[in-house]
Amino acid sequence: MEDSRIIKTEYSEEMQKAFIDYAMSVIIARALPDVRDGLKPVQRRVLYDMYELGIRWDRPYRKSARIVGDTMGKYHPHGDSSIYDSLVVMSQDFKKGLALIDGHGNFGNIEGDGAAAMRYTEARLQKVTQEAFLGDLDKDVVDFAPNFDETEKEPVVLPVRIPNFLVNGSEGIAVGMTTSTPPHNLCEVIDAMKAYMMNENITTRELMRYLKGPDFPTGGIVTNKDELLEIYETGVGKIKLRGKVEYEKTKGGKTNVVITEIPYTMIGANIAKFLSDVAALVETKKTQDVVDISNQSSKEGIRIVIELKKDADAENFVNLLYKKTRLEDTFGVNMLAICDGRPETMGLKQILKANVDFQYQVATRKYKNLLAKETERREIQEGLIKACNVIDLIIEILRGSRDRNMAKACLVEGKTEGIKFRTRESKIMAAQLMFTEKQANAILDMRLYKLIGLELEALINEHEETLANIYRYEDILERRDSMAQVIINELDGYKKEYGRKRRTAIENAEEAVYREKEIEETDVCVLVDRFGYIKTIDTATYDRNREAADAENRFVFLCKNTGKVCVFTDTGQLHTIKVADIPYGKFRDKGTPLDNISNYNSEKERIVSITSQTELNLRQVVFVTAQSMMKIVDGGEFDVSKRTVAATKLTDGDRLVSVAALLEQRNVILQTKEGFFLRFSVEEIPEKKKGAIGVRGMKLGPKDEVENVYYTMVLDNASISYREKEIVLNDLKSGRRDSRGTKIRV
């Protein structure tokens, strides 16, 4: 390779330039809409291609695959799936405030089912799209640019006559920025636009007398009305949404909670997620009011029915749904669009200004074009009328000329040389005609039937109409008020034909407050077997089955049903569980795995101790690890609100082997794997915080570790069996903490 073809550059600079180029391409040419027509490039190209293919609202549907293929081949050199997805979304009236495409076939539904493959579905333009989005393309009202391979021309922007950016909203993710604009009501947007045209100094607050707020196609309720003003002034904020709920009484006296409208953010898979979230509330015992839940939604609309128990508080239950599910959600607003060739976050007034300015530009180009055509038509009409008045002379010129050019020269320039005239007077008159070139061509192309009296009268009437049009177009172009009135009249026409009532209610709602049912406090017995299954039974049942319960379960203790259970594991973690979340039942019920109701993971950690939080609060707790690190911690430190916290700090490779609450014990006995026993006073163990490692309890051999920990009182004959040898713990030699201990030989 020649040196002249090698470009040496700094790698970081090249990467920076390449990334900026890519980012700008994504921002300008793919992800963000233009504020003038509210369309992303792919949407604009699909609509223009359908217009070019003649797939109008009053013509037969055409296969979506044909539209997608033609768009991709001519205008949008990207994946066919992105083009088809765009076509599908523009046809879904549950996503768009104003559907732009009329889809025929399976175009998906509000519950998240996708559209059928493009080879099966068909589409055509909606009437509003043809009239308000593509209607004036033939009048040179917008600029055209070459397509990607410069074989076709495509519009830079569509001549959209309504503020589509507000009506349909937009969502897109670019590089380093996103756009998220909610849809609005067409009638309100048009009214706000008219108000701005009448008074460009109008404030956002005054504009919101006309445009109340977003109007989602799914309905629902906006609950933060007072915050909307700031959102529309800045273009950024959060809209709080709720679904619409109705209450239906059944014959048995029960109440059904019926959701008839959902938040816009729940569209698609989130409906199924909502149903599973309600089921989860029942499973985790957050509520015990639900009898049944069913999704009865259909083409007529959303209908999700939740059947409640007879004595249930329906309003309180709905507040629980608002707090714990997406029945109440947030729509993040960031009204970002391409304005004057660059991305900009705009408030309501800025968006309306950009749209009004665009309407004036489109109207100016349209009426200049129409004026030029009418002026040309007037010139020809005047020529034809003049010709009809001297038709005999015209015929004489035509009959006396050798060819068309000779006749045309006579009509335009008065040249009579070579033309045979009947009289000298005719020749003199012919030299004075002086038609324009366009008039002469029209006269030479005129057919004889135009000389019929009625045709001549029609020509005169047409000329008068042309003069009226010219006067009207000149007035529109010269006077801004006249142009404004024309734009307003068009907007009123679209409002009358395509407007609909608002679907989304806007109000100030109080924050949902869920009141948990007060549980009558009572004592229960917690049982945890060796497999990690947990359950609670009443104390009377435990008293009747005490011997079996103690023998069959690893942990058994009493606590209040309003309290919490603390689970300490060998990894040093503390998992807390509400007693109310533990299954309550009969003595022989299996219970539920701890994994299911807590963050405990039986595959990664082992249970060291389980006790009630109330008991811990009243005690001091001794921690012992495999590497013999020890400490005493005040039990109150474990009264935490989080479900999982670190109960102690461990060194690398260490694990927790014992957690015990101190009652009246005075001696602690450490037993190692290699058979060393060390008995010393509990008073030698220092009190530390739970985040401390502690102090060494006994000296260990190279591969030895603490296996068991025992506690005794002063006068205590408790014994253990160690390798088939019975050992009375208090008979062991008393030593001091951090010593080797005594090896028991068997």
Position of tokens 């009239």?
Answer: 131
- Rounded to whole angstroms, the Cα distance separating 475 from 485 reads 11
Residue 624, helix vs strand vs coil: strand
- Rounded to whole angstroms, the Cα distance separating 421 from 401 reads 9
The dihedral built from the CA positions of residue 646, 652, 658 and 663, taken in this order, carries a sign that is negative
**Which is it for strands 221-222 and 505-506: parallel, antiparallel or unpaired?**
parallel
Q: Residue 180 in contact with residue 32, Cβ under 8 Å?
A: no
| Backbone φ, ψ for residue 667 (5° rounding) | -120, 145
Q: What is the DSSP string of 672-693?
A: ETTSEEEEEEGGGSPB--TTS-
Q: What is the DSSP string of 198-225?
A: H-TT--HHHHTTT--S---TT--EE-BG
Q: What is the DSSP string of 288-322?
A: --EEEEEE--BTTB--EEEEE-TT--HHHHHHHHH
Q: Residue 258 in contact with residue 310, Cβ under 8 Å?
A: no
- Rounded to whole angstroms, the Cα distance separating 268 from 109 reads 8
The dihedral built from the CA positions of residue 402, 405, 407 and 410, taken in this order, carries a sign that is negative
Q: How many other CB atoms are there within 10 angstroms of residue 185's CB atom?
A: 25
Identify which of 358, 341, 282 has the alpha carbon closest to the alpha carbon of residue 317. 282
Residue 735, helix vs strand vs coil: coil
Residue 492 burial by Cβ neighbours in a 10 Å radius (0-12, 13-18, 19+): middle
Active site residue: 120, 232, 533, 722, which one? 120
Q: Residue 690 in contact with residue 611, Cβ under 8 Å?
A: no
Distances (CA, A) of 332 to 231, 537, 678: 10, 48, 64
Distances (CA, A) of 487 to 54, 161, 198: 26, 8, 12
Distance separating the N- and C-terminal Cα atoms of the chain: 85
273: its two tokens: 């997620």
Q: Residue 630 in contact with residue 622, Cβ under 8 Å?
A: yes
Rg (CA), the chain: 43
Q: Which amino acid is at 594?
A: L
What would the 3-class secondary structure string for 74-123 be? HCCCCCHHHHHHHHHHHHCCCCCCCCCEEEECCCCCCCCCCCCCCCCCEE
Is 120 designated active site?
yes
- Rounded to whole angstroms, the Cα distance separating 594 from 535 reads 10
Residue 502, helix vs strand vs coil: coil
| Backbone φ, ψ for residue 268 (5° rounding) | 90, -140
Q: How many other CB atoms are there within 10 angstroms of residue 714's CB atom?
A: 9
Identify which of 349, 44, 411 has the alpha carbon closest to the alpha carbon of residue 419. 411
**Which is it for strands 290-295 and 304-308: parallel, antiparallel or unpaired?**
antiparallel
- Rounded to whole angstroms, the Cα distance separating 571 from 605 reads 6
Positions annotated as catalytic residues are 120
